Each structure stands twice: as structure tokens, then as C-alpha cells.
């Protein structure tokens, strides 16, 4: 019966080990493998001990049985530490293994010295033989070691249950069971002096529980399961090499992308052959600067349709063995859909941008036309012959072009464009002046002139209201200044504020020349048009008194173009 029991548990342990081999995964903890290796070996020792007919056979069986006794609890404890995410130094693990090895070394001395057994004898009782022994010092050490790992494992599990909430509760509950059962069986076997060692049953129970844990635990390792899922789904390709760029291997997805790796021998250096060249360049760039780790790899299709090509995002990085860097790895991920979407989105954005620019230009044109129309409505109330608004705008444009060439003032092209755009608005304030003054066919009385001078400040106020919600603050400021200060004089004798010199905004100083020039060479109800020579003489005499003398050279250079423009505007 005893032999049948031990044979049964041994067979069950082999079945459990076979199941473990069947479900084995490369990410399984190596300590799991050691448990499923040591349990059958230890139980084989029990089988041989039950069948022993001599002292020598009984001692040999005992030595096999204690392989599990010395090492099994150690590897179960390592499993518990890893599953409960307890990191202990490698040195501590090595020390614990060396201690276990030393205790097993004492087991191997049975029959030769008194380290493990002081004395041993063998007698036949009933159907089996019994090894009668007198325990030595190292036997006590072995049992103390087993008890230590059992109790330490239980304490780690209890601590994890209450403190480590990222550890799956299912795993913790499964871990506590085999340790508790092993401790209970060890106690019962020693108390009852049973002919059958119940620890063997605990071993089988532990194997079954660890099978459940092994089956379940990989689901919690998200990084590994996700990577495996993506690799199996052919979404990720990889090629690896060591630090000497010797090829280590790759998966089928990567080999299809780089066909020469299909037949490339392992340990051969990655060179500059056609399909290797890109990989080598990726590696070289990454080795020079590890921030340069992202690339694009395009696989052209047999057709000329760009939608059929495959675009892969390539990532270069270090190849890790645990926490150690061992080489480089190149990963490929199919990014075709994203790239095509981005390409489509870019095309749509470009089209949308063009449409927005066209609409914006149309709105700006409408805005400018509205301003020009408003200025012409105001001008129609004036006593001029008409066209003053358009002519002064063209005069400002000619002047600003020469200013930019000569660099008479430190201004930008954008500023000059805004001055030209603001020029038609310079007399908008006349909308508030009474018709009796605007339409008077002659010179104003001092009182009438004072009322007329209010159009400058009123113009700035009107423009401020018109452009109140505009996004272009710089244009708004230029337009207000042109209307407000275009009658100011360089010597300070102008109106409405009596500003002097550089106190007058640059845009108003430019407007002043264009406004006066048009007034001189154009016909009014109270005067005939002056010829260009007389108008030029008056303008030049005003440089330094009425006008900014720094604009003299720009005006002189602009004069031929001004005269040409105004000749074209004169009535036949």
C-alpha cells in the first residue's frame, strides 16, 4: 500500500509536469520550472525508498528524496517573492542558494560521516524496509531552513494582501494555500509518526496550485502579453543584433520587409547590402545620437498606386536582457493607415487654407471698398472737384515705395502697406462738419476755419468706432493717426494738437505731403490747379517747416512718378 501510494503521487507529479510543459511560455518565471522539476525528482526518491531492500539502496533513495527537501522550498519562496513583486538583491538569492547547496552537500555524505546522519541502519518491516537513523547537526539545519522558507513565504503573502494592491488578489489567495498545506502536513507527519510522509501529498497539491498560477499569471504581465499579441498579429516586426552589430535574429514580419535577413546567418555582422543598408543606417544614426531613434521605412507596391505602398514606423533602441543592455533592436510597426490619413488631412488642410485665404482676401477687399465708398461719400460733400481720396492714396503709395528704397525712415513694408490702406480715411471727420462750411466757394472766416479744423479729431473718433472690433491693432492705430494728425506741421504750427517734429506720427507726416501736393496740383472751386513746378517749389520750401525734412530725398525721387500719375488724371 505504501509503495502504491508513493508510485501514485509520483505519476501524478509527472502528469502535472507534463501539463506545465504543455502550457509553458517563454515569459514564465524560471522558479516555476524548478518547482515542476524538483517535485517529481523528490517523489522518485520516495518511490525508491519504499522499494529499497538494502541499506545502500535506502541511503541512495534518501539522497534523491532530499533534493526536494533542500531546494524545493527555496524555489517556492523565490516564486512567492517574484509574484508578490518583492525585489531582493541578487547577492541574497545567491547566498540562500549556496546555503541550500551546502545542506544538500551534507546529505550526500550519508554513510560516510556524521554530518547529516550520525548513524543509519536498515530493517525490513512488513511490505517495506525502514531506514533507522540517528539525526546529525545538518539534518536540523535542513528542517530549520524548510520551516524558515515556509513561514517567510506566508508572511510575504500576508503583507502583500494588505499593502500591495497592484498584486492580483486571486494570485495571493492561491499562493497562501500550498504554503499552509505544506506546513500543516509537515506538522501532522511528525506528530502522528505516520509510515506515509504526508509532505508528498502537499507537494502534489502545490504542483496543482502552481499550474493554476502559471496559467493565470501571464495575463497580468501586460507588457509581455501585448507585445506577444501584436507580434502574433504581424503588426510588429523586429530585428536584433549585439553591440558589435552581429545579427541575433528577427521575426517573420521583419524578414518579409527585409528579405536578405531571411537567409542571413546568425552572428554575421549587419553590413551594407541593399536590404541591410537601411537597417545599418538606422543603427548607425542611433549609435551616433540616441535621441535620433525614429525613422520611416517605405515598402513600394508592384503597382504605381501610392495608396498600395506600405509605410512603417521604425524605432531603434537597446536590447535588454532583464535590466542589462545587450545590444540593439529595430522594431517595425505598420503605420500606413495613419500616414495616409495624415496625407489626406494635410491635403484637406491645404485646400481649406486656400479657401480661407480666398475668403479672407474677399472680406478684406469688401472692407476696403466699403471704406473707400464711405470716404467718397464724405468727399462728395466737399468743395473739391472730386477724386481727392483716390489721388492721395496713390500719392502715399508712391511716396512709401521711395521711403523704403531710400530708408528715409525706419519703417517696414507692412507699415507702408497700412499707411496706403489708411490714406482714403484721412478726411472722414468732415462728415461732422456743416455743409455751409464744406460747400463754401471761397476762403473761410477765422470762425469757419476753427470749425473746419475739428474734422481731424472727429476723423480719429469715427475711425476708432469703425475699427473698434478689428483684430489688426496696428492698422487701427495707423488709420487713427493719419486722420488725426495729417494737418500737423514739423515746426509745431499745425492743428489740432500743435505737435512738433518727431512728436508727429510717421504715417501722418507721409500723409501730409501727399495731401498738400494733391491740393496744389488739383483744381478747386476757389482756385485753379498749380503747375508741377510751382507745386514742387512750395513743397520744397516747406521741408523743415511744414514737412519732415528727412522725407525730402524720398519726395524728390517720387516726384517724376507723381507728375506722371497726375498728368494721367488731368481732364482733357
| CATH code for the domain in which residue 437 is found | 1.10.3210.10
The confidence score (pLDDT) of residue 487 equals 93
Tell me the per-residue pLDDT of 258-295, one tens digit each, with 9 for 90 and over: 888 888 888 889 888 776 888 899 999 999 999 999 98
Mean pLDDT of the chain: 82
Choose between 560 and 345: higher pLDDT: 560
Tell me the per-residue pLDDT of 227-253, one tens digit each, with 9 for 90 and over: 555 555 556 888 889 999 999 888 888
Do 55 and 189 lie in one domain? The reply is yes
The confidence score (pLDDT) of residue 226 equals 46
Do 231 and 212 lie in one domain? The reply is no
What's the count of helices (H) and strands (E) in the chain, helices before strands? 20, 7
pLDDT of residue 341 exceeding 70 = no
Choose between 550 and 179: higher pLDDT: 550
Question: Residue range 287-311: average pLDDT?
Answer: 76
| CATH code for the domain in which residue 60 is found | 1.20.1070.10
pLDDT of residue 223 exceeding 50 = no
List the 324-334 sheet strands across, edge first. 247-250, 236-242, 324-334, 310-321, 294-299
Give the separation between CA 483 and CA 261, rounded to whole angstroms.
Answer: 77
pLDDT of residue 399 exceeding 90 = yes
The pLDDT confidence band at residue 493, using thresholds 50, 70 and 90, is very high
Task: Say how many CA atoms lie within 13 Å of 457 toward its Cβ.
Answer: 10
The confidence score (pLDDT) of residue 236 equals 81
Question: Residue range 325-353: average pLDDT?
Answer: 76
The pLDDT confidence band at residue 385, using thresholds 50, 70 and 90, is very low
The confidence score (pLDDT) of residue 222 equals 43
In this predicted structure, which of 214-218, 283-287, 296-300, 353-357 has the lowest mean pLDDT? 214-218
The confidence score (pLDDT) of residue 497 equals 92
Residue 347 lies in a domain: no
The pLDDT confidence band at residue 196, using thresholds 50, 70 and 90, is confident
Residue 376 lies in a domain: yes
The confidence score (pLDDT) of residue 360 equals 61
pLDDT of residue 422 exceeding 60 = yes
Give the separation between CA 452 and CA 444, rounded to whole angstroms.
Answer: 9
Task: Say how many CA atoms lie within 13 Å of 13 toward its Cβ.
Answer: 26
pLDDT of residue 425 exceeding 60 = yes
pLDDT of residue 210 exceeding 90 = no
Do 240 and 310 lie in one domain? The reply is yes
Residue 341 lies in a domain: no
Do 505 and 460 lie in one domain? The reply is yes
Could you tell me if 367 and 545 are in contact, meaning their C-beta atoms sit under 8 angstroms apart?
no
Choose between 303 and 423: higher pLDDT: 423
The confidence score (pLDDT) of residue 380 equals 58
The confidence score (pLDDT) of residue 361 equals 67
**Model's pTM, two decimal places?**
0.47
Q: Which structural domain, as residue segments, surrounds residue 513? A: 358-569
Choose between 369 and 265: higher pLDDT: 265
Residue 105 lies in a domain: yes
| Residue at which a domain ends, from 157, 192, 219 | 219
The pLDDT confidence band at residue 102, using thresholds 50, 70 and 90, is very high
What are the backbone dihedrals phi and psi of residue 103, each rounded to the nearest 5 degrees, phi first? -65, -40
Choose between 251 and 398: higher pLDDT: 398
Could you tell me if 50 and 195 are in contact, meaning their C-beta atoms sit under 8 angstroms apart?
no
In this predicted structure, which of 87-96, 142-151, 174-183 has the lowest mean pLDDT? 174-183
Do 436 and 317 lie in one domain? The reply is no
Do 388 and 318 lie in one domain? The reply is no
Do 212 and 239 lie in one domain? The reply is no
Do 239 and 192 lie in one domain? The reply is no
| CATH code for the domain in which residue 262 is found | 3.30.450.20
pLDDT of residue 378 exceeding 80 = no
Give the separation between CA 397 and CA 402, rounded to whole angstroms.
Answer: 9
Residue 207 lies in a domain: yes
Q: Which residue has the cell 501730409?
A: 512
Residue 345 lies in a domain: no
| Residue at which a domain ends, from 201, 219, 237 | 219
Residue 516 lies in a domain: yes
The pLDDT confidence band at residue 374, using thresholds 50, 70 and 90, is low
Question: Residue range 330-346: average pLDDT?
Answer: 73
CA distances from 136 to 103, 142, 158 (A): 12, 10, 34
C-alpha angle 496/498/504, rounded to 5°? 95
In this predicted structure, which of 69-78, 380-389, 461-470 has the lowest mean pLDDT? 380-389
Q: How many domains does the chain have?
A: 3
In this predicted structure, which of 52-61, 149-158, 176-185, 479-488 has the lowest mean pLDDT? 176-185
Do 308 and 376 lie in one domain? The reply is no
The confidence score (pLDDT) of residue 552 equals 92
Do 387 and 319 lie in one domain? The reply is no
| Residue at which a domain ends, from 167, 201, 219 | 219
In this predicted structure, which of 160-169, 173-182, 354-363 has the lowest mean pLDDT? 354-363
Question: Residue range 221-225: average pLDDT?
Answer: 48
The confidence score (pLDDT) of residue 491 equals 93
Measured torsion, CA atoms of residues 346, 350, 352, 353, in degrees rounded to the nearest 10: 130
Could you tell me if 85 and 153 are in contact, meaning their C-beta atoms sit under 8 angstroms apart?
no
Residue 343 lies in a domain: no
The confidence score (pLDDT) of residue 27 equals 67
Do 204 and 251 lie in one domain? The reply is no
Do 374 and 330 lie in one domain? The reply is no
The pLDDT confidence band at residue 572, using thresholds 50, 70 and 90, is very low
The pLDDT confidence band at residue 115, using thresholds 50, 70 and 90, is confident
The confidence score (pLDDT) of residue 362 equals 65
Amino acid at each position: 500500500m505504501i509503495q502504491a501510494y508513493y508510485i501514485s503521487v509520483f505519476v501524478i507529479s509527472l502528469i502535472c509536469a507534463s501539463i506545465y510543459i504543455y502550457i509553458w511560455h517563454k515569459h514564465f518565471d524560471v522558479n516555476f520550472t524548478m518547482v515542476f522539476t524538483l517535485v517529481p525528482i523528490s517523489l522518485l526518491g520516495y518511490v525508491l525508498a519504499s522499494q529499497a531492500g538494502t541499506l545502500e539502496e535506502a541511503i541512495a533513495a534518501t539522497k534523491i528524496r532530499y533534493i526536494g527537501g533542500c531546494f524545493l522550498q527555496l524555489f517556492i519562496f523565490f516564486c512567492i517573492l517574484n509574484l508578490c513583486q518583492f525585489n531582493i538583491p541578487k547577492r541574497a538569492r545567491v547566498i540562500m542558494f549556496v546555503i541550500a547547496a551546502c545542506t544538500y552537500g551534507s546529505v550526500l555524505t550519508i554513510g560516510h560521516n556524521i554530518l547529516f546522519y550520525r548513524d543509519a541502519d536498515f530493517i525490513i518491516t512488513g511490505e517495506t524496509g525502514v531506514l533507522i537513523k540517528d539525526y546529525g547537526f545538518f539534518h536540523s539545519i535542513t528542517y530549520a531552513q524548510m520551516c524558515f522558507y515556509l513561514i517567510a513565504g506566508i508572511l510575504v503573502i500576508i503583507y502583500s494582501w494588505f499593502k500591495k494592491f497592484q498584486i492580483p488578489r486571486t494570485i495571493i489567495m492561491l499562493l497562501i494555500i500550498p504554503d499552509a498545506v505544506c506546513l500543516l502536513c509537515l506538522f501532522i507527519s511528525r506528530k502522528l509518526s505516520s509510515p506515509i510522509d504526508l509532505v508528498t501529498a502537499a507537494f502534489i497539491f502545490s504542483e496543482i496550485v502552481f499550474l493554476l498560477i502559471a496559467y493565470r499569471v501571464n495575463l497580468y504581465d501586460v507588457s509581455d502579453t501585448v507585445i506577444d499579441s501584436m507580434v502574433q498579429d504581424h503588426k510588429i516586426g523586429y530585428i536584433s543584433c549585439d553591440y558589435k552589430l552581429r545579427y541575433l535574429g528577427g521575426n517573420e514580419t521583419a524578414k518579409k520587409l527585409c528579405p536578405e535577413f531571411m537567409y542571413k546567418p546568425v552572428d554575421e555582422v549587419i553590413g551594407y547590402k541593399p536590404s541591410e543598408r537601411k537597417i545599418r543606417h538606422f543603427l548607425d544614426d542611433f549609435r551616433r545620437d540616441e535621441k535620433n531613434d525614429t525613422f520611416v521605412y517605405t515598402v513600394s507596391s508592384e503597382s504605381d498606386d501610392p495608396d498600395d505602398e506600405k509605410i512603417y514606423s521604425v524605432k531603434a533602441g537597446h536590447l535588454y536582457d532583464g535590466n542589462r543592455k545587450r545590444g540593439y533592436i529595430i522594431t517595425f510597426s505598420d503605420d500606413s493607415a495613419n500616414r495616409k490619413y495624415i496625407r489626406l488631412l494635410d491635403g484637406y488642410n491645404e485646400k481649406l487654407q486656400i479657401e480661407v485665404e480666398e475668403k479672407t482676401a474677399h472680406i478684406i477687399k469688401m472692407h476696403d471698398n466699403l471704406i473707400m465708398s464711405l470716404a467718397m461719400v464724405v468727399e462728395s460733400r466737399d468743395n473739391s472737384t472730386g477724386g481727392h481720396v483716390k489721388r492721395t492714396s496713390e500719392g502715399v503709395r508712391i511716396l512709401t515705395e521711395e521711403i523704403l528704397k531710400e530708408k528715409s525712415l525706419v519703417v517696414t513694408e507692412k507699415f507702408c502697406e497700412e499707411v496706403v490702406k489708411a490714406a482714403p480715411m484721412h478726411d472722414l471727420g468732415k462728415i461732422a462738419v456743416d455743409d455751409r462750411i464744406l460747400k463754401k466757394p471761397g476762403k473761410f472766416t477765422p470762425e469757419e476755419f476753427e470749425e473746419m479744423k475739428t474734422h481731424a479729431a472727429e476723423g480719429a473718433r469715427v475711425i476708432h468706432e469703425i475699427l473698434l472690433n478689428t483684430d489688426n491693432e496696428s492698422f487701427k492705430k495707423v488709420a487713427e493717426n493719419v486722420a488725426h494728425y495729417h494737418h500737423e506741421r514739423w515746426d509745431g504750427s499745425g492743428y489740432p494738437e500743435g505737435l512738433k517734429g518727431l512728436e508727429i506720427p510717421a504715417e501722418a507726416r507721409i500723409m501730409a505731403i501727399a495731401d498738400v501736393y494733391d491740393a496744389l496740383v488739383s483744381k478747386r472751386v476757389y482756385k485753379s490747379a498749380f503747375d508741377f513746378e510751382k507745386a514742387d517749389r512750395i513743397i520744397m520750401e516747406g521741408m523743415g517747416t511744414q514737412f519732415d525734412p528727412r522725407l525730402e530725398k524720398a519726395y524728390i525721387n517720387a516726384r517724376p512718378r507723381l507728375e506722371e500719375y497726375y498728368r494721367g488724371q488731368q481732364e482733357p
